Structure 1
Amino acid sequence: MSSAILSVVAGERVPNPARTIASTNPANTAEVVGEIGIAGPEVFVAAAGAARSAQAAWAAVPPPQRGQVIANVGRLMTANKDRLAALVTREIGKPLAEALGEVQEIIDTCDFFLGEGRRLYGQTVPSEMPDKQLFTFRRPVGSVAVISAGNFPVAVPSWYIVPALLCGNTVVWKPAEYSAVVSDAFHQLFAHSGVPAGVFNVVYADGPSTFEGLERSLEAGLIDKVGFTGSSEVGRRIGELCGRHLQTPCLELGGKNPMVITEDADLELAVEGALFSGFGTAGQRCTSLGTVIVHESVHDEFVQRFSTAVAAARMGDPAQDVLFGPLLDEKFAAGFEKSLGWIAAHHRVIGAVGRVGTDSPRDGFVGDPAAGLFYHPVIVDGVRPDDELFLNETFGPIVGITTYAELDEAIALGNKSGYGLSSSIYTTDPTKAFRFAQGISAGMVSVNNSTSGAEAHLPFGGNGKSGNGSRQSGIWVLDQFTRWQSLNWDYSGKLQKAQMDTVTVEADFDFRLPDRSDPADPADPADPAA
């Protein structure tokens, strides 16, 4: 028990967890990466209480000094980049190149937000009255609960935690159980960067305990903001819970992301983008490609090229040079197999379906497929707008293909699923690109690039079933972790009542210009302009 990774509340490990689970390597499920102490709801409530107690003192630290702490985080992440990335690869099976990119995303986020400590700007606003000044200020929201998924176990949490801390908030973080070892390493780097005890707490808990702990914390007034990355189904529950407490959460949910390929597209480039966005991270991104919507005139050529590229792609051991490795965890393997059940008789399936193994081998597989949760990449041609495979997120290595004749039809197909996270169009026609961006409901649009990929200074988030319109990253996330406060300062020495004491500037509204339609008419001598 003493070797288990335990929750951290107010800088101290919390003993006596409710139970202990093993986090295993999905590329080699016999390998235990670490033992995790799973806490009950009372630990979440205690962490929320610690965050509440620490918040006022942390908010009193000048923002540039909080920015210096974020700079320290970035430096420690840089110094530990290789080790942290290797742990990401080992615990969730993400290829090493992607894992290194994920840690770089934390560093980029820190680089951006360390400067925001000097740029938490308000405004000086002119008043309608004399001897009076108006101001606006950003104030921290208070204590923040962050609940994140494990497919991006360190990058996505940093999108919440870094700006939340920079803005003067305190944090309770509940990472995914299946990525808890790397989450603990992430938390330790913050703890060694000068973040005071109680400012950043971490709770390892399962879903039911987390929800109960969050509900109790909200009822006790200990949590002021919730950030959640995960499924649309759970996001709805969290949205309902927060709504009962008159709070608006920051929700980053699932996606069924379309890629439109026009008749004038560079097909070689489009295939490269579809391969990466469809099968990178084994299709386990919220921004993964869901459906290719390809113009009917280039459908056959695209499918031929795409299927050839998928067949040649290296998959297997994520520590090697591969496009993708295993599924994250047994529960995701079970969910993906359910998605495979949506393949219908009218579909044309390209490639093997199901788990890679001795009975269903894959040419060029890197490593031992029997050791881990490896699944064949699947292309399903001929999907229809009412298919479950077209409408629902699959979260695994499967891509659907359908056709269109006119661009408006492609846009309608792209919006059909009700998700609105990411989208992509491949075209050499600027008019088509702008028409697509205007018509698509997604919060993010790529032109001649994949549906996946984010930069630390660009807003990230979706609409519809993909989120509630909140945005992460860049200056836009500041609105999630600050509240606007207005201040009016009257130094006139008397009570001035807005809208009541305001001086009205009079005008002669009966004045009319003389009729000059006839050039022979002399100017009106009464007209000052004459």
Structure 2
Amino acid sequence: MPGLHQHVGKIFADLAVPDPLADGGDLECRSPVDGAVLGTLTSHTPDQVSAVIARSQAAFEQWRTVPAPVRGDLIREFGQLLREHKSALGTLVSIEAGKIESEGLGEVQEMIDICDLAVGLSRQLHGLTIATERPGHRMMEQWHPLGVVGVISAFNFPVAVWSWNTALALVCGDAVVWKPSEKTLLTAIACTGLLRRAARAAGAPEDIATLVLGGRQAGEVLVDDERVALVSATGSTRMGKQVAPRVAARLGRTLLELGGNNAAVVAPSADLDLTVRAVVFSAVGTAGQRCTTLRRLIVHRSVKDDLVRRLTAAYRSLPIGSPLESSTLVGPLIDDAAGQAFTAAVGTARAEGGTVVTGGTVHEQISQELGGCYVRPAIVDMPAQSTVVRTETFGPILYLLTYDDFDEAIRLHNEVTQGLSSSIFTLDLREAERFVSATGSDCGIANVNIGPSGAEIGGAFGGEKETGGGRESGSDAWRNYMRRATNTVNYSPDLPLAQGVTFS
């Protein structure tokens, strides 16, 4: 699409952040909208990444002494800048990640929301006062800043997930080093530039939030450096299985948000009008490239035909095209490799006995016209026993499974290795309560009468099993970014020992 490069330049000018695009670097900044290279950037060498970590450590040692409510002032400034530049940043997300207009703006709103939460949290980093058996003593628990936090983010949420980590880490007194996906470098540079502007306004250390660019090599330095107290990594399960043991080998901490193979159960009593709306967004939003995308639909046999008819009609009416057009609901896949994975998965589903109900092909006309990789979202009716259904494909493929009794639905739901998000559509109170109970969904997120995709800032976000077990965003996720100290203060002249021990 002509003019995207110039559009990016105008966005950086609007943000008052230097335009980073130049010739000669090894990292291509490519837009999935038209597949064209916007410009190039240069990777950091391992020595340069190490130097960034050293500067971040020095900034942390200064920042941790600043009172938490004062640290909150930095995030307040950052949130205000995000509000002022929401439109420009949202467009940049659409250009670089391929999200439709409303989703690009929604991702920036997520950053604003986490800033609001973090500012309030800066006055609530509370510990406990604990009853002690020893007279004249007080026992309490405090939370202290942890250190340097390394954030490794994925392309599908190029700025929101970083902000979840960064807003909380900064009010907790930490420093942050961010290695974004190589596929979404411009949004990372833009957000880091705005945060640095906020840091100057708030009087915070310059290197409290830094950025390193590069591929696997840059990430490995973050993973292996003992000065990085916590590595928060978002990506595939395969990536997480490589990161976790390397950080554990140096006894560091990890916060992992990995793969999802999310399902929704549709019960006989489900409101099908509501179900269709929720399923379509959850399955095709972000062109099926969310970690919370709905990938498996487990439908009771009695309502399957009616639901499939409605879903098929909805899918065939979906506007597919440039995410920069306000009428578009399905934008491009991130690159051609994603398109190849999509078509390969559909082929595997057919080979395993699946029937393609609708979609499942590259949209050749739009792909040729615009230059990116655009596909027709697929619905595939599958037998229960199949390999592809248990595999996460980052694309808009919805597998249909059929059940006859509720126990069977729960079994089908839980038998995959991933455990991120889940939902049930039912008006039966017993089914709803069973689904969110200990004997129901085994995921970190379990919803009733809403889809599995899309989460509010106030709740902790994350999953179980091969999703990694991490929790980000709301609730008590802030504790990931702090260390706990238990303190006992003796204000008596005596020295009684716990458990009645005597040592005279």
In structure 2, what is the equivalent of residue 28 of structure 1? Answer: 34
Using a 3 Å threshold, how does the CA distance of structure 1 residues 475 and 140 change in structure 2: closer, same or farther?
A: farther
Q: Is the 8 A contact 2:350 2:356 kept in 1?
A: no
Q: Residue type matched to 1:446 in 2? A: N
Contact 2:125/2:143, CA 8 A, preserved across alignment: yes
| C-alpha separation in 2, matches of 1:421 and 1:395 | 15
Tell me, yes or no, if structure 1 residue 231 matches structure 2 residue 236. Answer: yes
Matched, 1:104 2:109: yes
The residue aligned with 2:356 is 349
Aligned to 2:206: 197
Q: Is the 8 A contact 1:17 1:39 kept in 2?
A: no
Q: After the TM superposition, which residues 117-128 of structure 1 pair with which residues of structure 2 at under 5 Å, given as runs?
A: 117-128=122-133
Task: Give the stretch that moved more between structures: 272-281 or 474-483.
Answer: 474-483
- In structure 2, the CA distance between the partners of 1:464 and 1:369, relative to structure 1 (3 Å rule), is farther
Provide, for residues 460-501 of structure 1, a one-character-per-residue CA deviation record: whole Å limited to 9, x for no partner.
00000111x221111321121011101111121232211225
Matched residues in 2 for 1:383 and 1:274: separation?
Answer: 20
- Secondary structure (helix, strand or coil) at the match of 1:424 reads strand
Cα distance in 2, alignment partners of residues 34 and 450 from structure 1? 38
2:301 aligned residue: 296
The answer to whether the 8 Å contact 2:410/2:441 transfers is yes
Are positions 1:338 and 2:344 aligned together? yes
Larger % of helix: which?
2
8 Å CA contact retained: 2:23, 2:39: no
Please give the alpha-carbon distance, in whole angstroms, between the structure 1 residues aligned to 2:398 and 2:478.
35
Give matches, 1:350-369, under 5 Å: 350-358=357-365, 369=369
Native 8 Å contact 1:18 1:38 kept in 2? no
Partner of 1:458: 459
Distance in structure 2 (CA, Å) of the matches to 1:369 and 1:454: 34
| TM superposition score normalised by structure 2 | 0.91
Matches within 5 A, 1:371-520: 371-385=371-385, 387-438=386-437, 439-467=440-468, 469-500=469-500
Structure 2 letter corresponding to 1:214: L
Matches within 5 A, 1:16-415: 19-30=25-36, 32-194=37-199, 195-211=204-220, 213-217=221-225, 221-320=226-325, 321-345=327-351, 346-358=353-365, 369-385=369-385, 387-415=386-414
Measure how far apart 1:126 and its partner are. 2.7
Q: How far apart, in 2, do the equivalents of 1:424 and 1:43 lie? A: 45
Q: Is the CA contact 1:17–1:38 (under 8 Å) kept in the aligned structure 2?
A: no
Taking the aligned partners of 1:481 and 1:237, their CA distance within structure 2 comes to: 22
More displaced, 396-405 or 128-137?
128-137
- 2:268–2:303 contact (8 Å) kept in structure 1: yes
Q: Deviations over 1:54-88 (max 9, x none)?
A: 21110001100001111111101000100000100
Tell me which residue corresponds to 1:505.
none
Name stretches of at least 5 consecutive residues in structure 1 with no aligned partner.
Answer: 5-11, 359-364, 503-530
Q: Displacement of 1:369 after TM fit?
A: 4.3
Matched residues, percent identical?
A: 36
Aligned to 1:60, the other structure's residue is in SS state coil
CA deviation profile, 1:87-124 (whole Å, cap 9, x unmatched): 00111110010111110011010001101111111122
Q: CA offsets per residue over residues 181-202 of structure 1, 9 Å max, x none?
A: 0110011111011242121110
* Larger radius of gyration between Structure 1 and Structure 2: 1
Offset of 1:331 from its aligned partner?
3.5
Q: Report the AA paired with residue 21 of structure 1.
A: L
Decide whether the 8 Å contact of 1:148 with 1:156 is kept in 2. Answer: yes
CA contact (8 A) 1:383 1:400 kept: no
Task: Give deviations 1:329-355, integer Å, cap 9, x for gaps.
Answer: 333333333323322242110224322
Q: Relative to 1, partners in 2 of residues 1:299 and 1:369: Cα closer, same or farther, differing over 3 Å?
A: farther
One-letter code aligned to 1:445 = A
* Residue of structure 1 in register with 2:15 after alignment: none
Gaps of 5+ in 2: 1-7, 10-17
Q: How many angstroms apart in 2 are the aligned matches of 1:138 and 1:416?
A: 38
Change (3 A) 1:492 1:18: farther
CA distance in 2, matches of 1:348, 1:330: 24
| Misfit runs of 4+, over 3 Å | 16-19, 367-370
The code of the aligned residue for 2:407 comes to D
- Residue type of the partner of 2:222? L
**1-structure distance, mates of 2:423, 2:140:** 41
Partner of 1:224, secondary structure, is strand
Q: What CA RMSD, in Å, does the superposition of the two structures yield over aligned residues?
A: 2.3
